[in-house]
Chain A
Amino acid sequence: GDSVTQTEGQVALSEEDFLTIHCNYSASGYPTLFWYVQYPGEGPQLLFRASRDKEKGSSRGFEATYDKGTTSFHLRKASVQESDSAVYYCALSGPLPNTNKVVFGTGTRLQVLP
């Protein structure tokens, strides 16, 4: 079945450091890819998504590019802030109308130290 792999379980950075969180997926066709962020005590909320090869999604300084060749959707940010501390989930679903299930990766806990 469809799956998402995030290799980093935890990342600790200092403010203004560069962030990369790796995401690779396994799915047939062209799934829609997402990055969700989860703050303590809340449900995940969408950062951004992409649905075509080479499409770049971005929000709040975070960005990722859909790469069908390497089946990847790595999250990057040039300069992290303490307020970015959260858990980040890469996810995928079938494109509309086949979007019955959104599959999440294992999540990456980002801690940004002041």
Chain B
Amino acid sequence: GPKVLQIPSHQIIDMGQMVTLNCDPVSNHLYFYWYKQILGQQMEFLVNFYNGKVMEKSKLFKDQFSVERPDGSYFTLKIQPTALEDSAVYFCASRTVSNERLFFGHGTKLSVL
């Protein structure tokens, strides 16, 4: 079936550094999402992106967070600077315009030391 790829699968960085998480969504999908999951806890919505714009974001989407998809390449989540509480698994998801079904990647585990 359709696959969302996330690169890297695990990223370890020092607090205060910048990190970029990459997502290769399903090829004909136009809506993109990031979710955050702290170990053993629920999926929490961060942001939704469509047509080059953030459509909706949650309180978890701090000012240090940004998303973009330049020229139809990777959909990225950038955190600058990182904080200890940013340690989590970040899941990218995508969907078509006409279907609410989300397709998720396998996640990127971010460890902020």
Contacts and interface: CB of A to CB of B under 8 A. Distances in A.
Interface of A: 32, 34, 41-46, 49, 89, 93, 95-97, 99-107
B42 A41 contact: no
Contacts of A45: 103-104
A57 to B, nearest CB: 12
B100 A107 contact: no
A12 B45 CA distance: 28
Contacts of B45: 101-104
Given A41-B106, A42-B106, A43-B107, A100 B91 contact: no
Given A43-B107, A100-B56, A101-B56, A89 B102 contact: no
B105 interface: yes
B98 interface: yes
Interface residues of B, number: 27
A32 B42 contact: no
B4 A93 contact: no
Given A43-B4, A43-B93, A43-B106, A104 B100 contact: no
Interface in B64-113: 91, 93, 95, 97-107
Nearest to A4: B42
B43 interface: yes
Nearest to A109: B40
A43 B100 CA distance: 16
Contacts of B42: 89, 104-107
12 contacts: A42-B104, A42-B106, A43-B93, A44-B91, A45-B104, A46-B101, A99-B100, A100-B48, A101-B56, A101-B58, A102-B45, A106-B41
Contacts of A42: 104, 106-107
Contacts of A32: 100
A46 B55 CA distance: 23
A95 B103 CA distance: 17
Contacts of B100: 32, 34, 49, 93, 95-96, 99, 102
